[in-house]
């Protein structure tokens, strides 16, 4: 990722300021823009975390990962709340704010649901290839020896993106690569869903050809998760369903064995858009795997399906 742009004087918070009461303050506007605008986040090299619970979760992860305790650049706490006591030790700067300013900073309607907002740097393990001058060097340093990469192809729901990041971290995958069309992983809803995972698992944003170059260099095999679809007649007619069920039982056995027998040392699991699935170029380059589902319902949320596949395809030595 390119170096962060320098902030102008108008969005710097004077060193003597310990309390904010005006929503018109330029730094308040700066924080709101960081929260709402993806391009501004990347240009500034900072992100915003809303809520004392997400901040505490991050405080359990980041210091051990980065070896840096005071990683929150600015911590805004609601005046009279107890958020300062639990979070101040992780902040370089603590500023108390009025309920009106907290509402503006957080975007939360009721300040009862938000006592703290934090501003911190984007994770050092994040790589935005569109901003990189040398894509190959950036990718090589981003994830030097990947064995398991999760690739998101146009997944747009921030809750799904955040949940998949958290699941990838839980199963110790080496990185997550977001292709064009994905939701920003530092969107406030994605951050809340990821529960700090974006600071634990390395993330990269880039194009399909950049991912292909990385996979070729590392001899990685592409696998794509896709659903097996029942026809309307199968779904609506019990007799047809029973006949289909027998065939599906055979398929499920085969699919289970296939997933269990995948033994590539290095692979990428690609998950497609919630509505449209995989893009054509992605689909054409992948081996396809399906989750055995013998029941009447076939549809799984992409985060649920992804979680199952992340578990089944994790590194062999990690399986219980």
State the residue for tokens 């649901």: 113
Crossing angle of helices 158-170 and 302-312, in 10° steps, is 10
Looking at residue 278, what is its pLDDT? 87
pLDDT band at 44 (very low <50, low <70, confident <90, very high): very high
- For the domain bounded by 127-318, which CATH number is listed? 3.40.1280.10
Assigned token pair, 236: 């609506």
Assigned token pair, 234: 């199968």
152 touches 273 (CB < 8 A): no
- Rounded distance, CA 198 to CA 186, Å? 8
Looking at residue 135, what is its pLDDT? 62
pLDDT band at 258 (very low <50, low <70, confident <90, very high): low
- Rounded distance, CA 320 to CA 318, Å? 6
51 touches 116 (CB < 8 A): yes
Phi first, then psi: give them for residue 19, nearest 5 degrees: -150, 140
Region 106-128: what's the mean pLDDT? Answer: 86
Region 75-103: what's the mean pLDDT? Answer: 92
pLDDT band at 269 (very low <50, low <70, confident <90, very high): very high
Lowest mean pLDDT among 129-143, 215-229, 290-304: 129-143
Other residues' Cβ atoms within 10 Å of the Cβ of residue 59: 21
For residue 145, pLDDT beyond 80? yes
- With the C-alpha atoms ordered 2, 189, 72, 70, is the resulting torsion angle positive or negative? negative
Region 96-107: what's the mean pLDDT? Answer: 94
167 touches 195 (CB < 8 A): no
CA-closest candidate to residue 32, choices 40, 131, 289: 40
Q: Which helix (H) or strand (E) holds 248?
A: helix 238-261
- Rounded distance, CA 201 to CA 126, Å? 9
Length of the chain equals 320
Region 40-61: what's the mean pLDDT? Answer: 90
Q: Where are the domains of the chain?
A: 9-121, 127-318
Mean pLDDT of the chain: 82
State the residue for tokens 């319902």: 297
Looking at residue 112, what is its pLDDT? 66
Phi-psi region of 139 (alpha: psi -120 to 50; beta: other; left: phi over 0): alpha
Angle CA 77–82–83, to nearest 5: 45
Region 154-179: what's the mean pLDDT? Answer: 96
Indicate the CATH number of 9-121 among 3.40.50.970, 3.40.50.720, 1.10.150.120, 3.30.1330.30: 3.30.1330.30
Assigned token pair, 83: 């958020």
Looking at residue 276, what is its pLDDT? 84
160 touches 302 (CB < 8 A): yes
For residue 7, pLDDT beyond 60? no
> pLDDT exceeding 70 applies to what percent of the chain?
78
Burial class of residue 236 (count of CB atoms within 10 Å of its CB; 0-12, 13-18, 19+): exposed
Model pLDDT for residues 180-239, shown as the tens digit of each residue: 899 999 999 999 999 889 999 999 999 999 999 989 988 999 998 876 554 444 445 555
């Amino acid at each position: 990722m390119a170096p962060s742009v320098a902030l102008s004087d108008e969005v710097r918070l004077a060193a003597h300021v310990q309390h904010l009461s005006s929503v018109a303050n330029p730094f308040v506007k700066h924080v709101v823009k960081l929260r709402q605008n993806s391009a501004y986040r990347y240009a500034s090299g900072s992100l915003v975390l809303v809520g004392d619970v997400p901040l505490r979760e991050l405080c359990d992860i980041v210091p051990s990962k980065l070896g840096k305790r005071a990683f929150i650049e600015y911590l805004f706490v609601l005046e009279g709340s107890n958020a300062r006591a639990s979070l101040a030790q992780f902040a370089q700067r603590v500023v108390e704010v009025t309920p009106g300013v907290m509402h503006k900073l957080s975007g939360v309607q009721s300040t009862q649901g938000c006592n703290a907002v934090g501003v911190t740097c984007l994770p050092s393990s994040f790589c935005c290839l569109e901003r990189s001058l040398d894509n190959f060097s950036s990718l090589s340093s981003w994830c030097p020896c990947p064995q398991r990469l999760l690739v998101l192809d146009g997944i747009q729901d921030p809750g799904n993106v955040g949940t998949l990041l958290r699941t990838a971290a839980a199963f110790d995958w080496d990185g997550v690569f977001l292709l064009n069309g994905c939701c920003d992983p530092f969107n406030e809803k994605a951050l809340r869903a990821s529960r700090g995972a974006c600071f634990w698992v390395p993330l990269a944003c880039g194009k399909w050809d950049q991912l292909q170059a990385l996979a070729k260099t590392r001899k990685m095999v592409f696998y794509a998760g896709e659903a097996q679809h029942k026809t309307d007649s199968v779904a609506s007619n019990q007799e047809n369903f029973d006949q289909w069920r027998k065939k599906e039982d055979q398929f499920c056995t085969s699919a289970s064995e296939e997933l269990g027998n995948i033994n590539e040392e290095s692979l990428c699991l690609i998950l497609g858009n919630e509505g449209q699935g995989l893009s054509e170029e992605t689909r054409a380059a992948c081996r396809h795997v399906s989750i055995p589902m013998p029941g009447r319902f076939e549809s799984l949320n992409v985060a649920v399906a992804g979680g199952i596949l992340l578990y089944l395809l994790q590194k062999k030595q990690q399986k219980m």
